[in-house]
Amino acid sequence: MRDEGVTDYVALPLHFTDGSIQVVSFTTKHPGGFADEQLEALRRITAPMARLAEVITLRRTAAGLLDTYVGNSAGERILAGDIRRGHAEAMQAVIWPSDLRGFTGLSDRLSPRDVVEILNRYFDCQVPPIRKHGGEILKFMGDGLLAVFPISGGGETVADVCARVLDAAREARANVVAMRYERDELVERFRFGVALHIGDILFGNIGGSGRLDFTCIGPAVNLAARLEKIAGRLGRTVVASSAFAGSCAGEWTGLGEFPIAGLSFAQQVYGLRDEISAETRS
């Protein structure tokens, strides 16, 4: 709606280098509107204004694409020029690997298009809770997802971060339980598993010449991935390492010690107490 005090209005084209045309508008409250010399001055500045607007638009588009494909934190670092292979930042974080149970059988009995739709809906069950509670999605691997929750201090304790992660895990679990996929007369129901572990990771650029991936590596990541496989063997949705469970006292029950490939000693694995209650009710 035009301001009642506006006496004149002019719209001028901004020609971008890709051939597209945008529009910039000007208004004035000056009695009599724009003078001829003022209109001429506005026309003279449209060319440099178009270059500036195009740069801002391209940067905003690039930031949006990077945020979508590599995550907000990684996207900001890449846009800032942090693309040197081997450059990685050491940090402490909660590591979240998860995958969809029964995905192989699902892929065998459904069409590829159905599987893609299911995966998108399945990841929608996890991504919003993870991002809502401060997590960074690093990658999707088939039906698998890897996320991290940095522990950066700044007044927030490890226990605070773990509490946020646990809230995200419970929300994701409820979302997946509620998810349904109907095809013909068949109704598919879903389960997933996630392992939670705290550890030191290297977060940065890894890859071959000319093709890099912004990801995290380290023994803690390997352990979290192996704990997630144990969750599948135990039929559990959420499991945790001793390091994570120790930061959320009262939430967990011991599931036993399990040998971990590559480690010389077994690891104690913990499951959520509320999963025991759910199993008892069913």
Q: What pLDDT was estimated at residue 280?
A: 41
Task: Say if residues 147 and 135 touch (Cβ distance below 8 Å).
Answer: yes
pLDDT > 90 in the chain, percent: 49
The confidence band for 2, taking pLDDT boundaries of 50, 70 and 90, is low
The share of the chain scoring above pLDDT 70, in percent, equals 84
Task: Please state the rounded mean pLDDT for residues 74-84.
Answer: 61
The Cα 232–Cα 54 span in angstroms is 50
Residue 80 has pLDDT above 70, yes or no: no
What average pLDDT does this structure show over 66-75?
Answer: 62
pLDDT of residue 279: 45
Q: Say if residue 77's pLDDT is above 70.
A: no
What does the DSSP assignment read for 37-50?
HHHHHHHHHHHHHH
Of all helices (H) and strands (E), which one includes residue 101? none
Rounded to an integer, the average pLDDT of 91-108 is: 91
Angle at the Cα of 49 (from 47 to 54), degrees rounded to 5? 100
Cβ 196 vs Cβ 95: under 8 Å: yes
pLDDT higher for 161 or 60? 161
Quick one: pLDDT at residue 167? 95
Q: Which of 46-60, 158-172, 222-236 has the lowest mean pLDDT?
A: 46-60
What DSSP designation does 9 have? Answer: E
How far is Cα of residue 65 from the mean position of the Cα atoms in its chain?
13
Name the token pair of 18. 């890709």
In the chain the domains, ranked by start, together with CATH numbers, are 8-70 (no CATH), 84-281 (3.30.70.1230)
Q: With a cut of 80, say whether residue 69 has pLDDT above it.
A: no
Average predicted confidence (pLDDT) for the chain: 85
User: Would you state the pLDDT for residue 272?
Assistant: 93
Q: Distance between CA atoms of 13 and 25, rounded to whole angstroms? A: 9
pLDDT digits (tens, 9 = 90+) for 124-143: 999 999 999 999 888 888 89
Q: Has residue 270 got a pLDDT over 90?
A: yes
**Integer CA distances (angstroms), 205 to 44, 70, 108, in order:** 45, 12, 35
Q: Which residue has the tokens 């801002």?
A: 56
Q: Is 76 exposed, middle or buried, given 0-12, 13-18 or 19+ CB atoms closer than 10 A?
A: middle
- Per-residue pLDDT at 256: 93
DSSP letter for 249, please.
Answer: T
pLDDT of 282? 42
- What's residue 65's pLDDT? 64
d(CA 15, CA 24): 11
DSSP for 54-72, written as a single string = HHHHHHHHHHHHHHHHH-H
Please give the pLDDT value at position 66.
62
Residue type, 42: L
Question: At residue 281, does pLDDT exceed 50?
Answer: no
Query: Rounded to whole angstroms, how far apart are CA atoms 195 and 280?
Result: 22
* pLDDT at res. 91: 87
Q: Which of the two residues, 161 and 90, has the higher pLDDT score?
A: 161
User: 3-class SS at 3?
Assistant: coil
Higher pLDDT, 239 or 2: 239
The Cα 179–Cα 125 span in angstroms is: 8
Count CB neighbours of 136 within 10 A.
21
261 or 213, which is more confident? 261
Q: State the pTM of this model.
A: 0.74
* CB atoms closer than 10 angstroms to residue 282: 5
CB-CB contact of 133 with 126 (8 Å): no
The residue that leads in pLDDT, 184 or 275, is: 275
